[in-house]
Structures are given as structure tokens and as C-alpha cells.
Amino acid sequence: MKLLDKDWFRRHFLVTEEIETIEKYLEKYPKLLTEKFDNGQSPLSFVLNYPGKRYRDLTEFVLSQETEIGTNDLVGLGRCEEFKQIVEKDPDAINRPDPDGNTPLFTAIMGSSRQESGECVKTVLELGAERRLPNIIRNSLGDEVSFQPDSELVEELLDLLPKKWGPKWYNDDVGIKNRMLFAEIYQIRYLRHEDSIESRTP
């Protein structure tokens, strides 16, 4: 696994392999989960901003390695009050992106689906976060926004999505049908992803 020395492969490895597999390689690569990538992004931040509820356990595993927790990571971990305290001292932090370009708002949205709570998303918005995101990031938000536990929050966040996502899912019969179809597609894609991982497990 010499490829683990390569930045791009280490990113791929972290989000495609099971925790047990990652753990096996820690002896040879002790900084696998703590050493920053070439652009300065930390493995923790990378995992927090990667879509999928299955990465909840991976997040806990990365945290167990005594990794450094960045400012934006706080909202991804549900530590809203700590983030709020930082923004009160450093107002620019509310929109400051991490090395991969993820803003606190995006990280909060990604974290909220795993925590099944939109509290940090609300906190970030209340603190004055810009309600806009780069297109390349907005295209990753569909799954996370549609499954927010707070329907009012969904309505607010849908405005961040590209127009291609269609009518709002809570307004009418068409919207409801679209949401049901979206949920079905999401579930199929998730199951296929899980089957793919299982097929690679010895």
C-alpha cells in the first residue's frame, strides 16, 4: 500500500475502506488519520465534509487518534456553542472556508444529517453566514438538505441548491412526489455503495 503516501489515494482510502482495514494500516502509517493533506486540509475535516451517515463511526475513530479539531470542524461535530464563541471573537470565521473550500455553513449541513439535528445549521445562519455556496459544493447538498429533520429548515436551505432540483418538496403534491422519488434514488444508491464496500471486504 505504498500509494498511501500519495495524497489523493489517502483521501480515497479513508472514505472507501472499513474502519477495521484502516486500523490495520495505522501501525505502518501512524499519521494516517492525523497528518494534514498537501493543501493543509485535515483528515477529520475531510471526513466531516464527505456525504454519508455511515461516516459517523469513522469520525469517532479519527477523533480517537487525538487529531486537531479546527474551527469549522466544531459545527460538523455538533459543538455549536463553541463555534459561536469563536465567531464572537473573530467575526470573519463565520464564512471562512477550510483548505478544501468548505464553509462553516456547508460543514454544518453535512454534520446535521448524521446528528439528525439542524441546531448547528441554525446557529451558523443566525450568526450571519452568507447564504450562498460555490456551484461545485452546492451540487453535493441534495441528499443532506432533503433529509434535514426540520422541514422549515429544509425550505430555507433549498434556496441554496441549483435550480435543477426542481420545485420545493413541501409545497404541493408534485413536490412531495419528487421528494419520495429522491428518497428512493438515494436509498438505492446508498445500498449499492454498501454492497460495493462489502464485496471488497475479505
| Residue where the block lists cell 475513530 | 61
| Domain total of the chain | 1
| Residue where the block lists cell 432540483 | 165
Q: What is the pLDDT of residue 135?
A: 53
Cα 71 from Cα 196, distance rounded (Å): 34
Identify the burial level of 39 via C-beta atoms within 10 angstroms of its C-beta, where 0-12 means exposed, 13-18 middle and 19 or more buried: exposed
Worst-scoring range by mean pLDDT, 10-19, 36-45, 110-119?
110-119
Cα 42 from Cα 39, distance rounded (Å): 9
Mean pLDDT of 60-66: 93
Domain of residue 162 covers: 2-200
pLDDT (tens digit per residue) in 74-88: 999 999 999 999 999
How many percent of the chain have pLDDT more than 70?
A: 63
Mean pLDDT of 161-174: 47
Cα 143 from Cα 154, distance rounded (Å): 11
